[in-house]
Structure 1
Amino acid sequence: MASFLSNLLAGLTPPPHINPVQYDGIEYKWSIFVFRPALFQHELYLLAGVFVYIVFVTIGVSRNSSKVNKWHVIVPQFNAHRPILEKQFSKPLGKSGLTKDGYSDFFNFSTGRRNVMSLHTVFALQPRHDLFQWLYQFGRTLIDLHYRPKDDVTLDFKLSASALNQDFVWAVVAKDELLSIKEDRWDLEQTFTKTSENSNLPPTLSVMSEFADVTDNLLKPALVAALNDPKVLPYFRSLSVTDQPRIRPEAPLPASSRQKHVILSLSLPSDRVEDTGGLVSVVFPFIDALSTVNLRPETRTKLKKTREELDKTLKADADKEKKEELSQAAEDKKAAKRRAEEERIAKLPAAEQQKILEKERKRAMRKTQGKAVVRK
């Protein structure tokens, strides 16, 4: 054993470094110290790689912070959207300004406005600080034609109870976002909305609505003008009004937990950050006008029926899943009891084990005979 360990350690121990007697490269001497650069070629490559990685991280972090700060609130010389928030909210910023989660996700919380309980502004930027994740995203774009990583900013307005007394789902979506938004937003699936064109909007935009009556009430001239602005279109992704969660709930939501939101999703501009200011400004009067939405009685009836049927479906799915979980738990309990009994029998003497096996055999025979009598 000792010889095996010594051989193993000898194999793992690197050979001693031997300075060549003949060395004709560059050499630096100071006192008793000698440095020969030509002997450290591999270390030079390693240091170069570390240096490149540090530079990549530094530039990525700086660029992401700069993009967010230009759009939002921090850098005084830009202030593209800060005046809008300060005009609309009594508390436009959090106590510490933007909240940062890593180097690619930033958040801001605004509150203190009529018809709006809160505004969450969420920045989701590309991972410019993470070389390996950035390479993964770049490689995926070469394989998946529908995958296009972007710098996104989402303004999620949580409405107060009096802001909207109707329940519906409605959205204007850029056509090149239709596929991804249906995957990411359960409330904008075909369960609720149908996609259609609208002559008042640019051909690059589509309307997702439950009924035409909803669209007629929401597409007001100010919003139409903002959505037709050629400066906004390159950055516009979607504007939605919804009474449903974005992720499918596991069970029907109680009335106290239901919330209504207006959600504006944009691609974050790199330079001309003021181009999106007009649309952001229009969203506030758009929210104020929601309280005046007056749908036809038949439309309200259909909307209510859709939600009642959805609650029944969610409840049925939840009950089915609960039954399956209880059934699985019962099976697991039965299997655990059987294993415990087998372990107990295995510890008994051979004679006792034989008696138990014989007893089980007779019990099985009686069951078989009983089934045969029933069949007759």
Structure 2
Amino acid sequence: MGKNRRRAKKWAQAHLPILQSEFAVVGYGGVGGARRALSVDNVQAEGLAKASATASASASSGDELEVPASMLKEMSGTEFVTYATGRQNVAFMDVSIKLFRWYNPLYMLGDFAVSMFFDSWPVPVERVECTAYSFDGKEKDLVPAPSAVEKELIEQRTKGAANSSSYDGFVFAVVHKNCMRKLREDRYDISLTFTRDNPKLPQWATVMSESAEITDTMLTADLIKAVEDAGEDFEYLIITDQPLDKPTKLDETTPGKRINLSLRLPKSGSYTTTMPIFTYFLRLTDRVVSAAHFRAEVVRKLRNTRDEETRKLRRAHEVEKSEERKLQAEKVKKEERDRLLRGMSAEEQRKFLEKERERETKRGMKKATRKG
């Protein structure tokens, strides 16, 4: 497990500076940032390229940055997690670092061997998965305000369309083609998209989107460059408002807006190539909040897709309720029949059951006649 701890710590050392520059709190102990969390104006003024270069230099400088013990939490021998919050437009962010079973080489070799013979068994990969959860205009519900004054300040900051963190719900993804099939099979939200190759992207990457207008809005030059820089270590970047699993209940259709990033951990141990896409991911919510307000025609199409799923669930719910009512009525009828039989003499029971059989016979004959 020592090797995995070192791998997780090295990731933290490389990414702590950019995380602290973006979030007020990083980790589970209230670790403050080196400077305050950036606003949209700060991001636009500094530029993605400059921030990425700064973070990349830190990632490759070799300096032993001290990582607070509270930054990483060891969930198991192969998984380490961290958390960040305190940023405009982002409620919080989760990071999961998944590593090989270096502490048990036999099991690790077994995983690789099985994956060679069974397509259903994925090839083991060391990766980092990040999820940023959007405020979507719900700051006053999600941000704890100790006093009425602070609550009022939050409401003032988010009041008006220009300051709102809400945006139209949609699904958009840039995906490595090796991951495309599994994502479409495993994720309900991705099943709502269409796959279109884009000449601006590398040949090994593709776009999965609900609309061409969404693609034109979200596929920026900075994103394309960051994907190219990450190369084969890039797996996917997904903007979504839909659940991972297909909804089975009405309350599961409630939108949950978030952004997912999945990267393989570079074999070289240097994060210079993946730092630009990680930095872009951290600030992508700002882009979404400012730009993801589409034409009425596009919004109507998106809403119709979601409403259709809701209608299907409502119909299924009504059928289920109808079946429950039918079963309950039959149960009451049976209980009443049993109560009547218990109060009858043996002769009365015989006559009652005989009449019941006659009614069943006549009912069966009528059904046969109608079929004929």
TM-score (norm 2): 0.68
* Inter-partner Cα distance in structure 2 for 1:294 and 1:323: 37
Matched, 1:102 2:102: no
* Inter-partner Cα distance in structure 1 for 2:359 and 2:183: 62
Deviation at 1:320, TM superposition (A): 1.7
Instruction: Give the 4+ runs in structure 1 shifted more than 6 A.
Output: 335-342, 370-376
* Inter-partner Cα distance in structure 2 for 1:129 and 1:322: 52
Q: Which residue is 2:211 aligned to?
A: 211
Deviation at 1:271, TM superposition (A): 3.9
SS at match of 2:87: coil
Look up the equivalent residue of 1:103 and give its one-letter code: G
Q: Which has the higher contact order (CA 8 A, sep 6+)?
A: 2
For the 8 Å contact 1:252–1:315, the answer to whether it is kept is no
Deviation at 1:235, TM superposition (A): 1.1
Deviation at 1:150, TM superposition (A): 1.3
Identity of aligned residues (%): 24
Deviation at 1:174, TM superposition (A): 0.2
SS at match of 1:274: coil
For the 8 Å contact 1:194–1:210, the answer to whether it is kept is yes
Q: Report Cα offsets for 1:56-81 as digits up to 9, x if no partner.
A: xxxxx223322222212xxxxxx111
Among 256, 262, 272, the alignment partner of 1:265 is 262
Deviation at 1:324, TM superposition (A): 3.2
Look up the equivalent residue of 1:82 and give its one-letter code: L
Q: Summarize the Cα distance change of 1:135–1:359 in structure 2 as closer, same or farther, 3 Å threshold.
A: farther
TM-score (norm 1): 0.68
SS at match of 1:246: coil
Deviation at 1:98, TM superposition (A): 2.0
Deviation at 1:160, TM superposition (A): 1.9
SS at match of 1:245: coil
For the 8 Å contact 1:238–1:266, the answer to whether it is kept is yes
Look up the equivalent residue of 1:258 and give its one-letter code: P
- When structure 1 is superposed on structure 2, of 95-104 and 211-220 the one drifting more is 95-104
* Inter-partner Cα distance in structure 2 for 1:322 and 1:123: 43
* Inter-partner Cα distance in structure 2 for 1:220 and 1:293: 11
Q: Which residue is 2:11 aligned to?
A: 71
Q: Which residue is 1:364 aligned to?
A: 357
Look up the equivalent residue of 2:176 and give its one-letter code: A
Matched, 1:249 2:247: yes
For the 8 Å contact 1:251–1:315, the answer to whether it is kept is no
Q: Which residue is 2:276 aligned to?
A: 278
Look up the equivalent residue of 1:305 and give its one-letter code: K
Q: Which residue is 1:81 aligned to?
A: 15
Q: Summarize the Cα distance change of 1:367–1:185 in structure 2 as closer, same or farther, 3 Å threshold.
A: closer
Q: Summarize the Cα distance change of 1:144–1:336 in structure 2 as closer, same or farther, 3 Å threshold.
A: farther
Q: Which residue is 2:311 aligned to?
A: 315
SS at match of 1:168: coil
Aligned counterparts, 1:29-44, within 5 A: none
Deviation at 1:306, TM superposition (A): 3.5
Q: Report Cα offsets for 1:80-131 as digits up to 9, x if no partner.
A: 1111111111101112322232222322110001111101112233445567
SS at match of 2:242: coil
- Tell me, which stretches of 5 or more residues in structure 2 are unaligned? 30-69, 137-163
Q: Which has the larger radius of gyration?
A: 1
* Inter-partner Cα distance in structure 1 for 2:8 and 2:332: 56
Q: Which residue is 2:175 aligned to?
A: 173
Q: Which residue is 2:46 aligned to?
A: none
Q: Which residue is 1:5 aligned to?
A: none
- Tell me, which stretches of 5 or more residues in structure 1 are unaligned? 1-60, 73-78
Q: Which residue is 1:3 aligned to?
A: none
Q: Summarize the Cα distance change of 1:87–1:131 in structure 2 as closer, same or farther, 3 Å threshold.
A: same
SS at match of 1:215: helix
Q: Summarize the Cα distance change of 1:113–1:129 in structure 2 as closer, same or farther, 3 Å threshold.
A: same
Q: Summarize the Cα distance change of 1:315–1:199 in structure 2 as closer, same or farther, 3 Å threshold.
A: same
Matched, 1:236 2:170: no
* Inter-partner Cα distance in structure 1 for 2:17 and 2:322: 56
* Inter-partner Cα distance in structure 1 for 2:100 and 2:314: 37
Aligned counterparts, 1:180-195, within 5 A: 180-189=182-191, 191=192, 193-195=193-195
Matched, 1:144 2:121: no
For the 8 Å contact 1:105–1:124, the answer to whether it is kept is yes
For the 8 Å contact 2:240–2:258, the answer to whether it is kept is yes
